[in-house]
A and B are shown apart, each in its own frame.
Chain A
Amino acid sequence: MENKPPLSTLAKQQVVSAWIFLIPMLLVLASVAAWPLLRTIYFSFTDANLDDLTSAHWVGLTNFIYLLSDPDWWHAVWNTLVFTFLSVSIETVLGLLIALTLNAHMPGRGLLRTAVMIPWAVPTIVSAQMWGWMFHDLYGVVNDILLKLHLIHEAKAWTADPHLALIAIVIADVWKTTPFMSLLILASLQLLPQECYESAKVDGIHPLKVFFRVTLPLIKPGLMIAVIFRCLDAMRIFDLIYILSSNSRDTMSMSVYARQQLVDFQDVGYGSAASTMLFLTIALFTVILMTVCRVTPGKEAA
């Protein structure tokens, strides 16, 4: 009982030291995240040019009006959404399959896990170039294999054909990011109680039924968080598309569009407007996903 007053001054001291400890991080984040973000939003209301950022004039909503009436921008929005939907859904299914395989008790599991980790370790740019080479229209191994298996009759221009390029991009992205997904799912799988599986086995319930009735509902919270993370990550995709189909307008993502305006066309004002729209879209998506899935990352930690 006597301890109470000194503890509360101690608690006060602790709060003070907490803020002192936070200052370096807050300063760094304020200068490299908050400030540049605010400047980008400011630039989106000006006619700033890359050559001379100081001579920017306020132009109000002009950039946004142009942006929202540009079919190329809407095409980029559409590409980004289609890409996100396709790659995240394929990754989730494939990731589940791989995680279940890794979770099975079998000899050589460590080796399999190592093999699965390889795509994760490959830098995105390297994976983009590797797939670009495999998808090469004349000398690519993908065409070669498909031709030999008689699945296609003539070599395809995977990265140049607007209909195929998005598929090629999704395939390369799925390869690179599925390991991350399966590791996250595996982590949830390993937390599951073994008892209900044993009793299901004793009762002779079909494994598929066990999966849909027991496993899937139990890992759903972890799975949802992994899906949200991947969705938000997929929506900002830049590297892979920039390399695989460069600045082709057929497959451009929102990030590629914004950077092209900003750097290649030197139009900082307009490019910043596109960046700001991307930022708002992702923020909106985060809010929607979190309310729909009723997931608050902070609470999961508790």
Chain B
Amino acid sequence: MATSRKFSLSKLCMSAMFYLVVAAIVLYTVFPFYWAVVSSLKSDSALFTTDLWPKRVSLNNYRSIFLEQPFGHNILNSVIVAVVTVSIGLFVSVTASYALGRIEFRGRTTLLMFILSASMFPQVAVLSGMFELIHALGLYNRHFGLILSYMIIVLPFTVWVLTTFMRALPKELEEAAIMDGATPWVIITRIFLPLLTPVLFTTGILAFIAAWNEFLFALTFTLTDNMRTVPVAIALMTGNSQFELPWGNIMAASVVVTLPLIGLVLMFQKYIISGLTAGAVKG
């Protein structure tokens, strides 16, 4: 009797501990973003108090970033750059990943290693060469300059992930098609693309997030406020005072650009996790 009660008590203790750990994890991961939301809803003087919820909810900060700053423009820039980057990236990597994933040829492993190392590449290492290239092509302070430079970030990643998924598809698929005399192009567009739609979607989301968040190139290759992407705009936001950053505005802008991303994560969590782990664990 006594031992069984002791046993269940320790079991209860264990699960209490467990849920304590869970609560701590949730608090740690969610609190910083929660704090950004709360701060963005506080008006000027309330911002400098540490109330956990504003006494009076104010949308002034949100009004200010869209009316007094070109933040709408910045969002548009980020959307254009990210969407075009992802489209070109996916288009180029579909054919490449078919070749790397489905066809045996000499130099394939070397090429794959090369692509993997390109994804681990420090961006600073190409900064001056890229600056020269973008200037020579007349793309400085233009969307296409950023799109061009983002290829180095997006392409190795999309090729790698798509190759992993291409490999996983059964061999019989194309063998039957080859017997029927289908060309590789037909095989890709008629057989693989329909099967890979969810994967393309996953890879597209991940590449979109990478392009959306990029900072170093955007900071270096744009000049005017109107051409800045969202991360650069948030980083360089200044207010009326020279000595104090407009924290309310910065937090409002942060919430505006993060909410859609959190929405994406909530909706496509399973896809995103499968894409992330395919890029690394299997890779």
Contact = CB atoms under 8 A, between A and B. Distances in A.
A159 to B, nearest CB: 12
Nearest to B110: A298
B261 A112 contact: no
B29 A119 contact: yes
Q: Bin chain A's interface residue count.
A: 35 or more
DSSP majority for the A interface? helix
Interface string B238-282: 000000000100110010011001101110010011001100111
A106 interface: yes
Contacts of B135: 53
Contacts of B1: none
B95 A21 contact: yes
B159 A116 contact: no
Contacts of B121: 33, 279, 282
B9 interface: no
A115 B95 CA distance: 36
A278 B127 CA distance: 12
A119 B135 CA distance: 36
B122 A37 contact: no
Interface residues of B, number: 93
A29 B152 contact: yes
B25 A115 contact: yes
B129 A24 contact: no
B14 to A, nearest CB: 9
A63 to B, nearest CB: 12
Interface in B29-69: 29-30, 32-33, 35-36, 39, 47-48, 50
Given A25-B96, A123-B257, A125-B231, A255 B283 contact: no
Given A33-B118, A125-B215, A258 B132 contact: no
Contact of A97 (B21, B48, B123): B21
A39 interface: yes
A123 B212 contact: yes
Contacts of B116: 297-298
A298 B99 contact: no
- Which one of A24, A43, A235, A301 has the highest number of Cβ atoms from chain B below 10 Å of its Cβ? A301
Given A123-B231, A255-B123, 10 more contacts: A17-B184, A24-B95, A25-B95, A112-B25, A114-B269, A115-B29, A133-B250, A183-B276, A188-B281, A255-B216
Interface of B: 18, 21-22, 25-26, 28-30, 32-33, 35-36, 39, 47-48, 50, 92-93, 95-96, 98-100, 103-105, 109, 111-113, 115-118, 120-133, 135, 148-149, 151-152, 155-156, 159, 164, 167, 178, 183-185, 209, 212-213, 215-216, 220, 230-232, 234-235, 247, 250-251, 254, 257-258, 261-262, 264-266, 269, 272-273, 276-277, 280-283
20 contacts: A10-B178, A15-B103, A19-B105, A22-B99, A26-B96, A32-B133, A32-B149, A114-B265, A115-B26, A117-B265, A122-B32, A122-B261, A134-B35, A222-B281, A232-B120, A255-B123, A275-B128, A283-B117, A286-B117, A286-B120
